[in-house]
Amino acid sequence: MSASWLILIYVALLLGALGALGIYSELRRRRFGPTHTEDRVFRCKKCGSVYTDDADVDRSRCSQCGKLNEPIIF
């Protein structure tokens, strides 16, 4: 084997190990990371407060002034 083949194999193995480590760390991050909440976002038309409530709520009462509001649609 020539020196160029040994260098190519060495670099390929290092890149493969780095790629495998990156995939492994991404899978761990997804498994143990925080999950996305399904809350709805509301903005009060009276006082301008922005707040969230459960996904099954169609209208929510503002915690600052008590007015019922519709969810914001993005």
**β-pair partners for 15:** none
Task: Supply the pTM of this predicted model.
Answer: 0.51
Question: What is the Cα–Cα distance from 6 to 16, expressed in whole angstroms?
Answer: 15
What is the pLDDT at residue 69?
A: 92
Question: What is the Cα–Cα distance from 56 to 47, expressed in whole angstroms?
Answer: 24
Contact by Cβ (8 Å): 44, 59: no
pLDDT in tens, 13-23: 999 999 999 99
What is the pLDDT at residue 43?
A: 93
